[in-house]
Amino acid sequence: MSDALPSAAPSAEDPDRGERLRQLRLERGMTLRELARRLDLSPATVSAVENGRRRLSASRLDRVAEVLDVRREDLLTGERSGVELSAATPAPAGIPPGGAAPRPRGRDASDWRVFPPLVLDPPLTAALAAFLEFGYHGATMRDIAQRAGLSVPGVYHYYASKQEMLVAILDVTMADLLARTTAARDEGRDAVERFALIVECLALYHTPLRELGFVGASEMRSLVPPERARVAAARRAQQRMVDDEVERACESGDFAVPRPHEAGRAVVTMCTALPQWFDGQGPATAEEVAAQYVEFALDLMRYPADGRHRASAGTSATTGHASS
């Protein structure tokens, strides 16, 4: 086969790459013969690769990554080199050997003002705590494993890397937030009310779920480029929801702000910064803070005071608190 693994003198990195392939294969409980069958190669050829005597062609490398359900970079960079994995390593409860843990998804956002406890799997819960304490780059897989009550290899049964855990945290954050703000917006009768409801939702989200909000705001820079672009696109979609209502309110003459797009960004930034100071221990509740932030946002948009009762009706009626 023209795309078979070519025979060549191994480079200095080939033995390590072959060992990474063996570790990944064993982690998934896959025999050498089974991997060879799925790659349409002979067992002898795969053995030669694992022992550093043959190199992976570019297309075969992609195929191996697909079969083992890992990133191509896992085979190239060896993020997990030095981690001892074996076929005897037990999978965590509820996860089949070599299987992947179900990823968290956005929750039901139909009642967007209600925030039940967020349930994540043990490694993701541990990763969130470690990122909050040490930051992404300061947290180690050993820190995460200890917090989760797992071995380091046990964590790898759930997630292929620390990067994958950060991506999962940001994915569930953005999915939940977008669903909630969409539900909030859809309750509004006009652009001003929709804007006020979105702001209320943003402020509420970043108080009870401030841990997710803090990691989402502070660790975007830690994402690798493809994932960063995808998460950034979700954040832009969130910003556009605000921008659209500001633009409509300006067109109707309700808002008099001279620079609507800049004002819209300021409002979102104001809400996403709440996790930096709100800890739930102060005199104001999350609902009161949200009502205050709606007032701040309407002031920024230069919305006349005599129209406030209409824009803030949803907030004051549902929280039971007057804005201050």
Q: CATH number of the domain at 14-77, out of 1.10.600.10, 1.20.140.10, 2.40.110.10, 1.10.260.40? A: 1.10.260.40
Residues in contact with 189: Cβ distance below 8 Å, sequence separation at least 6, in sequence order: none
Tell me which CATH code domain 166-319 carries.
Answer: 1.10.357.10
Positive or negative, the Cα torsion across 200, 204, 210, 216? negative
Distance between CA 299 and CA 228 in Å, rounded? 33
Summarised one tens digit per residue, pLDDT across range 146-179 is: 999 999 888 888 888 899 999 989 888 888 889 9
CATH 1.10.260.40 in the chain, residues?
14-77
Summarised one tens digit per residue, pLDDT across range 34-70 is: 788 888 888 778 878 887 778 777 778 888 888 877 7
The mean per-residue pLDDT over the stretch 20-46 comes to 78
Question: pLDDT category, 81, cuts 50, 70, 90?
Answer: very low
**DSSP state for residue 254 in the 8-state scheme:** S
* Distance between first and last Cα of the chain: 74
pTM of the predicted protein model: 0.62
What phi and psi values does residue 54 have, to the nearest 5 degrees? -135, 155
DSSP secondary structure of 149-200: TS-HHHHHTT-S-HHHHHHHHHHHHHHHHHHHHHHHHTT-SSHHHHHHHHHH
Q: How many residues does the chain have?
A: 324
